[in-house]
Structure 1
Amino acid sequence: MIAILLTALLVQIPVVLNADVGWLLTVNEKILDGRKFGVDLFESNPPLSVYMYMPAAMLGRMTGIAPEFIVIVLVIAEISGALFVIDRAAAAAKLGARERSLSTWSFAFLLAILPGTIFGQREHIAVIALTPFVAITALRWRGLDPGRVAILAGVGAGLAMSIKPFFALVAGLPIILSALRQRSFRPLFTPEAWTAAIVVISYGAVVVAVFPAYLSTYAPMVAEAYLPIRRELSALLPIPIAVIGASLGFLRLSGPQNLKMGSAAIPWLAASVGGAASFLLQGKGWPYTAFALCLFAITAPLLQVGTKTLRAPVVIGGLATVVAIGLYLSSPAPGFPPLQARVQAYVKHPRLLTITDHIGLGHPLVRQIDGVWVGSSCAQLLAAGAMLRENSSQPSEGERARLDSIIEFERQQLLADVRNGRPNVILVDTSLLSSFPFDWLAWANSDPELRMELSRYREVEDVGRVRIFVDQSNSER
C-alpha cells in the first residue's frame, strides 16, 4: 500500500495540476489577501468546493512550499485515511487477512493511480471521502457489522455530498437497494447514514449563515445560466453503457453467482449506477465527472475475482479495460496552444486576465508563469451559458430579461477587473464553449466604458484560438 501511494506521489509531483485545482488555489490565496467569496470573488460551485483547498493555501504561505505540492500530499493523506477506515471496518466484520489485503491494495491503486491528471480535483477528493461509506454498505449487504468506524464513513459521505449534491445518488442507491432487498427501512437509518445526513444539514446551515450573498446573488445566476449547459444525451450515454457493460461482462466471466441479487458485487454496481446517474444529470461530459462511475464499476468485479484463478485472456482483458478507463479519465479537454513562453516573451510575471468562458485559458497558466490573477472569476462562463440559452431555445420575456441581466453582470465584473486589476496581459478567446466561433472582444467592446478601458491594449499575436493583448504603456517586450 505504501509503495502504491509513494508511486502516486512521485508521479504527481512533476505533473501540472489541472485547471480547476489551479484556479481554486488562486481563489483561496485571494481570500487570504482579504477578498470575500460571493461578494468580489465568484465560483459556480458551492463554498465547500472552494474552501476545501484553503489548508493547502495556508500551509503554502506558512512554509513557503508550493501549494500544488501540498495538495498532492494532503490528498495522499486523505487516501490513507479512507484505506484505514475501510480496513478497520473489515477487521470489525472479521474478514480474512487475504480479503482485507486485496481490498487495501485495490483501493490504494484505484484512488491514487487511476485518477491520473484529475488527481486532486473536487470529484477525486469527494469520491475518496465517499468510498468508505460504500464499502461499509457492502459489508452490511453481507450481513456483517462494520463497527463504530462506520460513523467516520458517514462523515466522509456527508462531506462528499456537500461538495457536490449529485453524490447522494452514489451513496443512496446501494442503501435503497438494501432496503428493497430486506423489505425494511433499517438500511436507511444506519449510524453512517444518520451521520452523513447530519453533516449535510449542518453544512447547509453554515452556508445560509456565512454566505448569504452567494445564495442570494450568484447561486440563482448559476442555476439560470450554468446548470442548463449540457451535452446531448446521445453523446453522454456511451460512457456509462461501455463502463457498466464491461463491469457486468467481467462479473459474468468470473462466475454467474456474481450477478445474483445476493452477490457481494451488487452494492458496488449500484454505486457505479449512481455515478452514471450523476454523470448524466450533470450533463457536461467532462471525464472527471465520471470518476465515481468508473471507480465503482472497476471495484465490483475486482474484489470478486481477486481471490480466484482466472484464464489469461480474462486477466489481460481486465487490465486493458482498466488502462482504457484511466486514459479516458486523463484525456485532455478541448484545450489551448502552449502559451507560457509566448506570454513571458512580452511581460515577465504579468498581471493576467482572460476574456473567455473556459477556465483552462488562464489556469493553471497564471501559476506556471508566476503571474498575478486579477479577475474576480475564472471565466465568463455564466455569460456564455446565458447567450447559448438565448440562441438555442425560445426563452420567455421574463427568462430573456434574466439572461440579459446575467450577461450584463459578467460584463460589469470584467470592467471592474480591468479597472481595478490593471492587467498588463489580456488573453481573448475566439470560441464559445469550445464549440462555436465567437468574438469575445466584440462582446466586451459592446459596453462603451469597457471599450474605452480595452483601447489601452494592443494585439501583439494570435496563437490558435487565442489573441494576446498587451498594455500599450508596457515597455517590456
Structure 2
Amino acid sequence: MVAIVVAALLQQALTALDCDVSWLITTAERMLGGARLYRDIEEVNPPASVLLYVPPVAIGALLGLKPEIVTVALVTGLALLSLHHAARLLALPPTRSTPYIAAACAFFLLVLPADLFAQREHVALIAGLPMLALLVARSRRSTVRRADSWSAGLAAGIMIAIKPHLALALILPALWLIIRQRSLAAVQTPEWVAAALLCTAYLLVVQLAFPDYTARMLPLLRLVYLPGRDSWSNLLAGPMVMIPAVAAILTLWLSRGRPSEAAVVALLAAAGFAAAGLVQGKGYLNHGYPAVAAALVAITLELGRPGHARAFGSLCALLLALGGTYAYDRVPQPGALRDAVVRVGPPQPRLIGISFDFALGHPLTRWVDGRWVGRRGSLWVTGNARQQLADAALPAAARRRYEAAEQADAAMLAADITRQRPDIILVDETPGVRWIASHPPLAQAMRAYRPATRVGHVTLWKPRPSR
C-alpha cells in the first residue's frame, strides 16, 4: 500500500493536473478573491465543480503552498480514507489475497487516474465507494453502525451533487438489491436519507447563492453545450465502454457465472458509470474513468476469492489496468509554448486566449505563474455553436440563435481584452485572425496588439509599444 501511495505521488510530481482541474482551481481562486461565479467568471458545470476546489485553494493560501500540491495531498488522503471505510463495511476475511486486493484498489484510485487525478469524476468515485460497499453489506444483511450509514450516505450525496447522472452507479446496484431481497426495505435505510438530505441542501445552495447559474448559464448550456455529442461509434468503442465490458466478461468467466455480491455491485456500478458517460455523450476520458475503475475493482474482488486466482485472469486484469493508465496519461506538456510566454511576457503575465481548445491556456497559465483575465476559459460557446451551425438542415430560427451566441461570445472576449489589458493573447490558428476580423468589436480590441512570436499553431500577441 505504501508503495502505491509513493508511486502515485511521484507520478503527480512528474506530470500536471489537467486543464479542467487547473481551470477550476483558477475559478475557485477568483471566486475567493471576490469574483461572482457565472457573472465575473463563467464555468460550464454547476457550482459543486468549483466548490470542490475551494478548500485546497483556501488551505494553500493559508499555508503558502500551491493549490495543486494541496489538491493532490487532499485527494490522496480522501482516497485512502474512502478505501478504509469501504474495507470496514465489506469486512473481507483476512486471507493471503487481502493485502493484494487492497493494493490493487489503491492503484485504481491513486495511480490509474494518471493525468486525470483530482478530476471531478475521480473525486466522485472516491466519495461513492463507501456507499457501494454499504450496498454489499446490506445484501449480506450485515449489521451496520448508524454512523457508517450516515457517513457513506453523505459521501454518496456529494458524488451525486458533483454530477447528478452519476447516481446511476448507485441506482443499478440498489435495484439489484431490491430484486434480490424482494423488498423496498433494502433501500429504506439511513444512508439514502443522508444522501437525499445533502442533495436537497445543495439544491438550496445553488438557488440561493448562485442564482446566475439557473438564470444565465442554464439557457446558454441548453442552447450550445448540451446538444454537442460525440458519435455513438466513438463513444461505444472508447475505454469507457470497452474496458468495463472486457472486465465484466473476465469476471463472469472467473466466477463461472456466479460472481460474489461485491463483484456484482462493482459491475453494476461500472455499468451505471458508463451509462452516465453515454448520457453526457462527450466521450471525454475523465467521463469514463469511474466505469473503468469500478470494473477493475470487480475483477480484482473475483480474483481474490479462494480458488479463483488464475494466472490468465490476473494477466488480463493487469493489462487492462495498465492500458487504462496509459489512456489517461494525456495532459500535454507544451514546453516550447511555456518558454515563449516566459520570454515574450513580463513576470506573472496576464493571459487570455482566442481558441476553441480549452487546454491551450490551462494549465499553461498556472505553469508560468500567470493570471487568466478572461471570463471564460476558452471560446467554448463559439466552438459548440459552430458544431451545430455545420448542420445544413438546421432551421433558420435555430441558426440565428447560434449565430447570436457566437457574436455574444466574441463581444465578451473583446470587452475582457479592452478592460483587462492582458500582457499576452494566445491566438490559435483555429479560429485564427479571419475569425477575429469577422467580429468588429474584437478586431477593434486587437488593434492594440501585434504578433510577437509563433509556436506551432499558436501565435503570441503582445501590446503594441505606446507612442
TM range (shorter): over 0.9
Residues 14 and 227 of structure 1, relative CA distance in 2, 3 Å threshold: same
**What's the Cα RMSD here?**
2.2
The percentage of counterpart residues that share the same residue type is 31
Instruction: Quote the residue 2:188 is aligned against.
Output: 189
Instruction: Quote the residue 1:298 is aligned against.
Output: 296
CA distance in 1, matches of 2:331, 2:74: 24
CA distance in 2, matches of 1:474, 1:263: 72
Instruction: Quote the residue 1:36 is aligned against.
Output: 36
Structure 1: stretches of 5+ with no match in the other structure: 432-438
- Please report the TM-score for the alignment, with normalisation by the length of structure 2: 0.93
- Which deviates more from structure 2 when the two are superposed, residues 239-248 or residues 204-213? 239-248
Tell me how far 1:116 sits from its aligned partner: 0.9
Structure 1 counterpart SS, 2:168: helix
One-letter amino acid of the counterpart of residue 441, structure 1? V
Instruction: Quote the residue 2:443 is aligned against.
Output: 451
Instruction: Quote the residue 2:249 is aligned against.
Output: 249
Instruction: Quote the residue 2:178 is aligned against.
Output: 179
CA distance in 2, matches of 1:372, 1:263: 50
Tell me how far 1:442 sits from its aligned partner: 2.7
Structure 2 counterpart SS, 1:460: strand
Is this contact kept in 2: 1:271–1:296, CA < 8 A? Answer: yes
- Confirm or deny that 1:473 pairs with 2:465: yes
Instruction: Quote the residue 1:163 is aligned against.
Output: 162
Deviation per CA, 1:270-291: give whole Å up to 9, x if none. 1011111112111111111101
- Confirm or deny that 1:426 pairs with 2:422: no
- Please report the TM-score for the alignment, with normalisation by the length of structure 1: 0.91
Instruction: Quote the residue 2:357 is aligned against.
Output: 358
Instruction: Quote the residue 1:113 is aligned against.
Output: 111
Is this contact kept in 2: 1:382–1:410, CA < 8 A? Answer: yes
One-letter amino acid of the counterpart of residue 156, structure 2? A
Deviation per CA, 1:147-170: give whole Å up to 9, x if none. 320211111111111111121111
Is this contact kept in 1: 2:247–2:317, CA < 8 A? Answer: no
Aligned residues: 462
Alignment of 1:238-387 (within 5 A): 238-239=237-238, 240-259=240-259, 263-308=261-306, 310-332=309-331, 338-349=336-347, 350-387=349-386
Instruction: Quote the residue 2:68 is aligned against.
Output: 68
CA distance in 2, matches of 1:452, 1:293: 48
Tell me how far 1:145 sits from its aligned partner: 3.2
Residues 440 and 176 of structure 1, relative CA distance in 2, 3 Å threshold: farther
Tell me how far 1:181 sits from its aligned partner: 2.7
CA distance in 2, matches of 1:308, 1:62: 50
- Confirm or deny that 1:59 pairs with 2:51: no
Tell me how far 1:361 sits from its aligned partner: 0.3
Deviation per CA, 1:260-317: give whole Å up to 9, x if none. xx74421111101111111211111111110111011111111121244534333222
CA distance in 1, matches of 2:452, 2:362: 21
Residues 281 and 474 of structure 1, relative CA distance in 2, 3 Å threshold: farther
Deviation per CA, 1:318-359: give whole Å up to 9, x if none. 2112111211222457x9674111222211332111011221
Residues 264 and 159 of structure 1, relative CA distance in 2, 3 Å threshold: closer
One-letter amino acid of the counterpart of residue 158, structure 1? G
Tell me how far 1:103 sits from its aligned partner: 5.0
CA distance in 2, matches of 1:37, 1:404: 25
Deviation per CA, 1:82-111: give whole Å up to 9, x if none. 1232133234xxx42337655543322211
One-letter amino acid of the counterpart of residue 458, structure 2? V
One-letter amino acid of the counterpart of residue 64, structure 1? G
